[in-house]
Amino acid sequence: MNMNNGIPLAQASALYRPDADIGSPPVLADPQALLNAFHPDYLGSSVTKLAVGANAGDSCQRELAGLLQAEAIIDEADLAGAPVTDIDVLVIGGGGAGCAAALAAAERGARVLLVTKLRLGDSNTVMAEGGIQVAIEPDDSIQRHIEDTLRGGHDIGNPELVAAMAEDGPDVIRWLIRAGMQFEQTASGDLHTRRAGGMNAARIVHCRDYTGLEMMRVLRESVIQHRAIEVWEQSPAVELLSNEDGRKCVGAVFKSLIDGRFRMVRTHSVILATGGVGRLHLNGFPTSNHLGATGDGLVLAYRIGACLRDLDSFQYHPTGLVYPPHLSGKLVTEGVRAAGAWMLNAAGQRFVDELLPRDIVSAAILRECQEGRCVRVDDGRVGVWLDTPRLERSQPGLLERQFPKLLARFRVSGVDPRHDPLLIHPTLHYQNGGVVIDVNGATTVPGLYAVGEVAGGIHGRNRIMGNALLEIISFGRRAGVAATAQRDRGPKKVTLEHVNRARRDLTLAGIPLTQAAPQILPDYAAKGIWNR
């Protein structure tokens, strides 16, 4: 890393002009070449092949592979004396997908236990800004939505899953409105729709740029108020439980951050809704994700034998903040570019069409930074400009009307996006792949479901904006419903047999058992968390 890359911030700020004469960006002749050269997914040394498990032989991001092929963090002996709870449906994860699953299961009469690592609602969902996709405009259709999604994902998404999600769209919105979620309306009362990157129609519905917050607080309140749903907070899942042959999921083990004790839960169905992996800082990137996004569900699913997919594909969102430092990696919504904001390098020039798919735009920014046409802050971090002042000049009041969250975050820092351009750099944002599921959210392991970001097969190699919020509700509900249909006499034994199997496989493959997973929290935030 060249610590002297680019122009210092003060100098670049002095050079910046919101009214400079700027033309169109250069046309990108060979997008694939750009990706190959600069996008982290295409960096040879960032990818390896898995040696054990259901995806042995498949490509996987190197640091993630380390966790998927790591030792478990508990032993059977740790469970001595641990209290046991029996429940109909267990949901692991307290974000949008987890809450949707819990509510759907409870609606069907199940008793539900929702267990979350931190506080209910602590998730990536609550931070989502852009909105949720739904094909409701007259010039749009469900089929178009499906096609845009598959194309954005480089045509490797599962068409059946994509179709299910797109078809669910309108009913998902109705369900959310009934639960009490507000959306922006036009003067005629229609839902206001926006177009975003990779879409052929205006399809994003939203609540200002607080869509995730609006959704999460409504879902959270619904779950808290629901008499059939019990919630445990501050309780990370540390392992799943399997039946006597280690092939069926029959529950999970949790360790409380409050009292350090283990608790076991036995159930008919486990729904993993554990979210993303941003806080693993893959390839050394900052992240937009919340603190708990450490891929725990992915690790647990793999260990019990679930099939995963696209483990070498991660979305680096182009516009992650660089400054002020406490907001490092935090997202500026694509909606700002969709509204017309440009990106400028240190020379004050546009360098890529801002509304190309995210992976291409991110690769272009990384190119500018590596080739020195970037702006540098004091501690050596670099970025390019997102020209929000120019946007404000062309549409006065727009930022305050449509992007209050953007402005709110800067209030305490003395930076005003209406007057100061924002320094941005790609940020690790979304796990495109994940656990393989069917249209009911069922994984390849009986008894185990996966919904939301932890699941894969919908977004291919690149998610387009607004599909994440749709996916979590659509599949969350599907899994919640399907989970209630599971009624058998239960397992003969409740074991950690799958952990032993994984240990055996790892040892025989020559993989050292020096690393333990799941990670639970990133190292910098994990000081003394178990020391009660």
Partner 1 sequence: MRAAYCTLNFFDFSHLTKTPMTTDGDNPQTINLTINGVAVAASAAMTLVEAAWHGGVPRVTAVSCLESVCGSCRVLLRRGKEVTVNLACQTFVEDGLEAVFLPPQPPPLHHYEISDFTDGWNIQARFHEIFPEASHCRNCHGCVLSCPKGIDVEGAIALAAAGHFRDAGEAFLECVMCELCDSACPELIAPAHVGLFCRRVTAHFHLRPPNLIYRLEEQRKEKMGLTGASHDEHE
Partner 2 sequence: MESLNTILLHPDRRIGADMERWRKAGGGQALARAAVDPAAVREAIREADLRGLGGSGFPVWRKWDAVAAESPKPDKYLVVNGNEDEPGTYKDRLLLEETPHQVIEGALVAALATGANRVVFYVNPDLALSLAALKTAIELWQASELLDLASTALGRPLELTLLPGSGHYIGGEETAAMEWIEGRFPFPRGKPPYPAQVGVHGCPTLINNVETLAQVSHIVAHGAEWFRSLGKAPGTGTKLYSLSGDVLYPAVYELPMGTTLRELIFVHGGGLLSGKPLKAVFTGGPSCTLLAPVDLDVALDFDSLRARGGSLGTGAMIVISEGTGIVKRVAEYMRFFAHSSCGQCMSCKTGTATMSLLLDRIDTGRGTAADLATLENLCAMLPGTGRCHLITGVVQLLDSSFRHFKHEYRQALR
Q: Residue 524 interacts with partner 1 (CB under 8 A)?
A: yes
Q: Of 133, 158, 222, 267, which one interacts with partner 1 (CB under 8 A)?
A: 222
Contact pick of 97, 99, 136, 472 for partner 1 (by CB under 8 A): 136
- Look-up of token digits 């819990």: 102
Q: Which does 259 bind (CB under 5 to 8 A by kind): partner 1, partner 2, none?
A: partner 2
370 belongs to the binding site for partner 1 (CB under 8 A): yes
List the one residue out of 309, 518, 315 whose CA is nearest residue 434: 309
Which one of 21-29, 173-181, 305-313, 510-518 is the stretch in contact with partner 1 (CB under 8 A)? 173-181
- By beta-carbon proximity to partner 2, the closer residue of 257 and 516 is 257
**Strands 375-376, 382-386: pairing kind:** antiparallel
- Describe the chain by its helix, strand, coil percentages, rounded to 5: 35, 20, 45
| Whether 337 is catalytic | yes
Taking CB under 8 A as the criterion, the residue among 19, 24, 27, 45 binding partner 1 is: 45
Q: Are 249 and 242 in contact (CB under 8 A)?
A: yes
Figure out which of the listed residues 12, 40, 390, 453 binds partner 1, where binding follows CB under 8 A. 40
- Told to check if 21 binds partner 2 by CB under 8 A, we report no
Residues 6+ apart with CB under 8 A from 151: 198
- Residue of 317, 373, 376, 418 marked active site: 317
CA 306 to chain CA centroid, nearest Å: 20
Q: Is 526 in the site for partner 2 (CB under 8 A)?
A: no
Token digits of residue 147: 């096609």
> For residue 241, what are the β-bridge partners?
251
Residue 527 contacts partner 2 per CB under 8 A: no
487 touching partner 2, by CB under 8 A: no
Helical ranges in 113-231 per DSSP H = 142-152, 159-179, 211-225
Q: Which of residues 251-270 bind partner 1 (CB under 8 A)?
A: 257
CA distances from 430 to 178, 215, 290, 294, 357 (A): 28, 19, 11, 12, 14
Quick one: which segment of 279-287, 298-306, 341-349, 446-454 binds partner 1 (CB under 8 A)?
A: 279-287
Residue 141 contacts by C-beta under 8 Å, 6 or more apart in sequence? 135
Kindly identify the residues of this chain, within the stretch 245-304, that bind partner 2 according to CB under 8 A: 258-259
Q: Given the complex with partner 1, which of 309 and 429 has the nearer CB atom? A: 429
Q: What is the distance in angstroms between the CA of the first residue and the CA of the last residue of the chain? A: 40
* Contact flag: residue 20 with partner 2 (CB under 8 A): no
The active-site residue out of 203, 206, 290, 337 is 337
Q: Which is nearer to partner 1, 227 or 489 (CB)?
A: 227
Distance separating alpha carbons of residues 312 and 64, to the nearest angstrom = 9
Q: Give the residue from 46, 522, 98 showing the smallest Cα distance to 294.
A: 522
Q: How far apart are CA 20 and CA 342, in angstroms?
A: 12
Binding status of residue 489 toward partner 1 by CB under 8 A: no
477 makes contact with partner 1 (CB under 8 A): no
Of 7, 16, 38, 130, which one interacts with partner 1 (CB under 8 A)?
38
Per CB under 8 A, the segment of 80-88, 150-158, 181-189, 480-488 that binds partner 1 is: 181-189
Q: Kindly state whether residue 109 participates in binding partner 1, applying the rule CB under 8 A.
A: no
Catalytic residues: 317, 337
Residues binding partner 2 (CB under 8 A):
258-259, 532
